[in-house]
Amino acid sequence: MKTILTGDRPTGKLHLGHYVGSLRERVKLQNSGEYDKIFIMIADAQALTDHADNPAAVRENIFNVALDYLSVELDPAKSTIFIQSQIPALFELTAYYMNLVTVSRLERNPTVKNEIAQKNFETSIPAGFLCYPISQAADITAFDANVVPVGEDQAPMLEQAREIVRKMNEIYGEVLIEPNIYLSSNETCRRLPGIDGKAKMSKTLGNCIYLSDDSKTISAKVREMYTDPLHIKVTDPGHIEGNVVFTYLDAFCEDKATVAEMKEHYQRGGLGDVKVKKFLLEVLEEILTPIRARRAEYENNPDEVMKILKTGTEIANEKAAEVLNRVKRAMKINYFE
């Protein structure tokens, strides 16, 4: 059996970093026909670990993320799209896994560490937040997933999930499946920089292009993109390292020969930023126009979107309950069976 599980926190609309880092890969995997089951989770409970005071925003973003999924052609006939908080088995599994993980191991998780610094939690870290890698291990194992397509920033989560699986299996017998991370083969896509040239596209940094941005917004964002500050006159030789426009061409343009030619011309001198940006804009628009159109369609049919989520959640619940029973039996806490 080949099973995929992956997901996103509903803390905002999804952006191009999500698209090339994960969404586009998921759709490819979905359409490859190589997977028996595909589960895509909207991780609202995880979003609440650091947005407990704003459940309304999380609720609204569940809908936004669902629209993003459907608009990039995650297909509910092939992929089960569901909402994390509606799967009780996940919380039971989390409780049992918690006994196998030390607080210091959680504090050492690089992703958690980064986020704690970024959010200025300092010593007031919500316990639920600190433990979210454990709940993420539950998310993955509850579906017997062996393939987890995610961005590079999630690698420490997968590492910790694998540790939990090994511990569970060691103590209770072979009860869980060890998951593998699946990263995009295109290096540039694993961590897309923001339009300002900062290492990561992120909502907090305010340097995103969203899948739902309209043409005018995207055109303005491409115009202000960070290029080479030393490339002043068109005739000056330019640098492509750290030049976001070229990084994006590597991530989005299928025509590698044209990109290589442009890079060469730019480095030689004589190719202006305006021209390269115009080309990038065309490349992005070709990808985003059909996505935008499908988004608009679903946006006008909110009942249909909710129905997709409800059906997906029912299917997910059935699978997770089955795995939970298996775990409880292995732990010998199935007293009344």
Q: 262 near 279, Cβ under 8 Å?
A: yes
139 binds ligand TRP (CB under 6 A): yes
Shortest Å, Cβ 136 to ligand TRP: 4
148 binds ligand TRP (CB under 6 A): yes
Q: 74 near 35, Cβ under 8 Å?
A: no
Q: In this complex, which beta carbon is closest to ligand TRP, that of residue 22 or of residue 227?
A: 22
Q: In this complex, which beta carbon is closest to ligand TRP, that of residue 80 or of residue 154?
A: 154
Tokens describing residue 310: 């409800």
Indicate the residue whose CB is closest to ligand TRP.
43
User: How many degrees, rounded to 5, is the angle at CA 314 between CA 26 and CA 38?
Assistant: 20
Among 87, 101, 140, 291, binds ligand TRP (CB under 6 A): 140
Among 14, 27, 43, 134, binds ligand TRP (CB under 6 A): 43
Q: In this complex, which beta carbon is closest to ligand TRP, that of residue 210 or of residue 279?
A: 210
17 binds ligand TRP (CB under 6 A): no
228-261 exposure pattern, b = at least 16 Cβ within 10 A, e = fewer: beebeeeeeebebeebbbbbbbbbbbeeeeebee
Three-state DSSP class for residue 138: helix
Q: What does the alpha-carbon distance between residue 259 and residue 240 come to, in Å, rounded to a whole number?
A: 11
Q: What does the alpha-carbon distance between residue 80 and residue 92 come to, in Å, rounded to a whole number?
A: 21
6 binds ligand TRP (CB under 6 A): yes
Among 3, 4, 8, 190, binds ligand TRP (CB under 6 A): 8
44 binds ligand TRP (CB under 6 A): no
Q: In this complex, which beta carbon is closest to ligand TRP, that of residue 25 or of residue 139?
A: 139
Size of the site for ligand TRP (CB under 6 A): 14
Among 3, 4, 5, 74, binds ligand TRP (CB under 6 A): 5
Residues present in the chain in total: 337
Q: In this complex, which beta carbon is closest to ligand TRP, that of residue 8 or of residue 144?
A: 8
Q: What x-and-dash track marks residues 90-119 binding ligand TRP by CB under 6 A?
A: ------------------------------
Runs of H (alpha helix) within the chain:
16-18, 24-32, 44-48, 55-71, 88-98, 103-108, 110-118, 127-130, 132-141, 155-172, 187-190, 215-223, 244-252, 256-268, 273-299, 302-330
Q: In this complex, which beta carbon is closest to ligand TRP, that of residue 72 or of residue 148?
A: 148
51 binds ligand TRP (CB under 6 A): no
Shortest Å, Cβ 275 to ligand TRP: 36
CA distances from 284 to 15, 18, 205, 206 (A): 12, 15, 21, 19
First-to-last C-alpha distance (Å) of the chain: 28
Among 64, 94, 109, 136, binds ligand TRP (CB under 6 A): 136
Choose among 328, 264, 326, 2: nearest CA to 147: 2
Q: Which residues bind ligand TRP (CB under 6 A)?
A: 5-9, 41, 43, 46, 136, 139-140, 148, 150, 154
